[in-house]
Structure formats: C-alpha cells, structure tokens
Amino acid sequence: MSAPSPNTATGSRASGGIEGTDPTDVEGAGAPPRANGELVFTESWQPRVFATTMRLQEQGLLDWETFRQGLIGQIATHETELARPDDYDYWGCWLRALEDLLTGTAIVAPSELDLSAEAIAARPPDH
C-alpha cells in the first residue's frame, strides 16, 4: 500500500525546518508504543494530541528536541510511580510533556487550560 508520509498531509518537512523530527524516527526512551510498526492509540484523544504536537512543531512553536527531553523526563517519573506494568500510560506522559512545554514557553497560560477544562467538563455528556 502506498501510504503517504504524515508530512505530506500537513506540509512538507522543510516547513518545519528540522530534519528527523517525525516521531516515526524517535527511538529509545521517548519512542511511542507500536504494533507492526504502527503507532498504537487506545483512546481517541491520543491521536489528537499527537497530531497537535506535530502541527505545533511544523509551525515552529515547539522545538522537537525540547519536547522529546520533556517526554523522556515524564516517562522516567511515571515509571518510578507505576504500581503495575499494565498501568503504563505513554500518551498521558505525552500530554503532560506537551502541557508543560506550552505553559513553560508561555504559548498557553495554565489558567487558560484550567478554564477550558472546566467549560468542557460542564458540557452535557452527549455533546
């Protein structure tokens, strides 16, 4: 199957300006879970957060290496806190790393995230 590379859908790699920032290239401590070479998502928010991260990187709002180091830090902390291996939550680490980077670089204020979360939590369930 001639599947397009993710970069073809959202602009060329050149627009991001950084070679090798596709997470498919990530190996080692920060590598996403995979099955048969494909990224594994278990909740619908996970691919959205993943895609959001890629968009921010393309727009130059997120430095991939900074993000990756943050992710590795989150995973390391998470692993020391794990009660059972089955509780391993890669995308939870990803989400925290992204939140930290965006608030740390003042792209987003923590209070904005809190307000938005309150509004979403208050929505009727079948929204």
- Contact between 101 and other proteins by CB under 8 A: the answer reads no
Size of the site for other proteins (CB under 8 A): 46
- Contact between 84 and other proteins by CB under 8 A: the answer reads no
- The one-letter code for the residue type at 42 is T
CA dist., res. 57 & res. 17, Å (int): 9
In whole angstroms, the minimum distance from the beta carbon of 123 to other proteins comes to 9
In whole angstroms, the minimum distance from the beta carbon of 75 to other proteins comes to 16
CA dist., res. 32 & res. 95, Å (int): 13
In whole angstroms, the minimum distance from the beta carbon of 79 to other proteins comes to 16
Beta strands, E only, 6-100: 34-35, 38-39
**Hey, which residues does 34 pair with through a beta bridge?**
39
Are 90 and 104 a contacting pair, CB within 8 Å? no
CA dist., res. 121 & res. 72, Å (int): 29
CA dist., res. 72 & res. 31, Å (int): 9
Q: Report the site for other proteins in 17-46 (rule: CB under 8 A).
A: 38-39, 41-46
Q: Which of 22, 63, 99, 100 binds other proteins (CB under 8 A)?
A: 99
Binding site for other proteins (CB under 8 A): 1, 3-4, 6, 8-10, 38-39, 41-52, 54-56, 59, 61, 89, 91-92, 95, 98-99, 102, 107-108, 112-114, 116-117, 119-121, 125-127
